[in-house]
Each structure stands twice: as C-alpha cells, then as structure tokens.
Amino acid sequence: MLSTFLIALREGLEASLIIGILHAYLSRSGKRALLPWLWAGVGVAIAFSLGLGAFLSFTSAQLSTKGEQIFAGTTSFAAVALVTWMVFWMKRSARGLKNELQGKLEAALPLGRIALIFAAFFAVAREGLETALFIYTNFKTVSTDTAPTLGLVIGLLVAVVLGILVYRRTVTINLGKFFTITGIALLVVAAGVLSHGTSEFQNFGALPGAHAFLWNSSASNSIIATIFDGTIGIGAQFTWLQFLVWSSYLFLTLRFYTATAKEGQPVS
C-alpha cells in the first residue's frame, strides 16, 4: 500500500502541477475559451494511461507461466529505467519546467485547437506512462489483497487535492524538498521492483542463482515481511543476485541523486 500510495502521490502531483501551469497560462493570457481543448488533451492522456494499464494486465493474464515471467521481468526493468530517468530529469529540469511548458503551449496555439490538444496530451501522458508502467510492475511485486489498490486511490486523491490547493495558493509547500524526498523514496521502491524483475528472470533460467538464497523464509507471513516486500523489495525469498542488483542500484542512484545540485521549485 505504501509504495503504490507514494507512486500515485508523486506522479499525480506532478501531473496536477503541469495541468495547473497550462491552465493558468491560458487564463492569464485571455484565452479561457481554449480551456475545453486543454482538458480534452488531458482527458486523452488519462484514457491513454488507463488503456496502457489495462493492456499490460490483459497481456500478462493471457501468457503462459514462463511467458508471464519474461513479460513481468521485462516490464519491471523498463519501469525502473523510465522512473530512474524521470526522477533525475525532474531534479535537473524542475527550475525551468514552467517556462518550458508555457513555451510549448505558445508554439501550439497558432497551429489551432488540435495542436493544443496534442500539447496538453504529451505534457500529461509522460506522467501517465510512467505511472501505469510502474504501478503495474509494483502490483506484481506485492500481495494480491486490496491494500495496493487502496494506496493507489488515496495517493491520487491526495495528489489532486494538493494540486488544486497549490494552484489556488491556498497552501504553500516547498516543492523542491517535496520532489527531492519523494524522488529518493521512488528510487528505493524502484530498487525493489528491479530485484523482483531479477527474480523473474532467474525463475525461468535467464539469470543464474535462482536457488542461491541470501535467506529463504517463504513460510513466513509476518506483517513485517509483507511491508518490506511491498516497499523496499526485500521479500521472504531473496537471492544473492537480487541483493547484489538491489544494493548496487541503490548505492549508485542515491549517490548521484544526492550529489546533484539542489533543484528549484517547478512552479512559482
């Protein structure tokens, strides 16, 4: 639940802030008549994200056991690569994000309403793609109860409410610190997804060491084991190779992430 909540909160707030920037620009430019076209692009992006999530789930369900392992492992690696890139991209680009989005909107306006729809779509779809892929892989690594779904719903609701409050300047939060802290947390979650992806490839023989366990307490159903598996990716069964991949990823990404210059706030 905690990992899906964090993913939904972080990505949902990013999307909310992007929509707020675009909405504010049109409103302040006296182009409120174009707002329905902006929301049309946002709606298409949301539909695209939901469709991608449905496609991933449907495809996974239709595969054989080995095929599902390959699919789950591949999507896990792809999700980790995408999330890692996005976390570092946001830290590097947050200071100029507002100007970048407004510049793209300015370029789209003279081209007509369809161009505005595409501009809004691409601005939001990036977050939707990341969320759908990462949420899917995260659901594959946690228990099958309702907790992950509950975390996803609560995270999205909190993100939307925070986005509205920030847009209306009802509340003020240090967005730079927020994205830095949640970026670190996302890298920890990504390390867990990476370790589970490694396990999938080990299970069908593409990677060695499937039975070389650092520890094996598969009979344990403790709450602590469940929490660890759903957050930092350390499950009841953990191979030496999983530990090597997990620890190496965390060491490298957190070292470079914390060493980069302090990011600016994405909106003002």
Is residue 243 assigned to a domain? yes
Q: Is the pLDDT of residue 268 over 60?
A: no
pLDDT higher at 152 or 245: 245
Q: Is the pLDDT of residue 236 over 80?
A: no
- Produce one character per residue of 155-191: b if its CB has 16 or more CB atoms within 10 Å, e if not: bbeebeebbeebbeeeeeeebbebbbebbebbbbbbb
pLDDT higher at 89 or 235: 89
Distance of CA 24 to the CA centre of its chain: 25
> Which pLDDT tens digit goes with each residue over 112-167?
889 889 888 988 888 888 888 877 777 766 555 556 678 788 888 988 888 888 87
Is residue 266 assigned to a domain? no
Q: What is the domain extent for residue 247?
A: 2-259
Mean pLDDT across 8-26: 87
Number of domains, the chain: 1
Is residue 125 assigned to a domain? yes
235: helix, coil or strand?
A: coil
Q: What is the pLDDT of residue 264?
A: 44
Q: What is the pLDDT of residue 66?
A: 82
DSSP letter (8 states) at residue 252: H
Helices of type H across the chain: 2-28, 35-62, 65-93, 97-108, 113-141, 147-167, 175-203, 223-231, 240-259
Q: What is the pLDDT of residue 224?
A: 60
Phi, psi values for residue 214, rounded to 5°? -70, -40
Q: What is the pLDDT of residue 10?
A: 83
Q: Is the pLDDT of residue 253 over 90?
A: yes
How many other CB atoms are found less than 10 A from the CB of residue 51?
12
Q: How far apart are CA 226 and CA 210, in angstroms?
A: 21
Share of the chain above pLDDT 90, in %: 12
> Which pLDDT tens digit goes with each residue over 180-231?
888 888 898 889 889 888 988 988 888 888 888 887 776 555 566 666 666 6
How high does pLDDT run on average in the chain?
A: 81
37: helix, coil or strand?
A: helix
Is residue 227 assigned to a domain? yes
Is residue 38 assigned to a domain? yes
Half-sphere exposure of 99 (CA within 13 A, CB side): 6
Is residue 268 assigned to a domain? no
171 falls in which pLDDT band (50, 70, 90)? low
| Structure-token pair, residue 196 | 């589970």
Is residue 98 assigned to a domain? yes
> Which pLDDT tens digit goes with each residue over 38-87?
999 999 999 998 898 888 888 888 888 888 888 888 998 998 998 899 88
261 falls in which pLDDT band (50, 70, 90)? very low
250 falls in which pLDDT band (50, 70, 90)? very high
Q: Which residues pair with 216 in a beta bridge?
A: 237
266 falls in which pLDDT band (50, 70, 90)? very low
Mean pLDDT across 20-38: 88
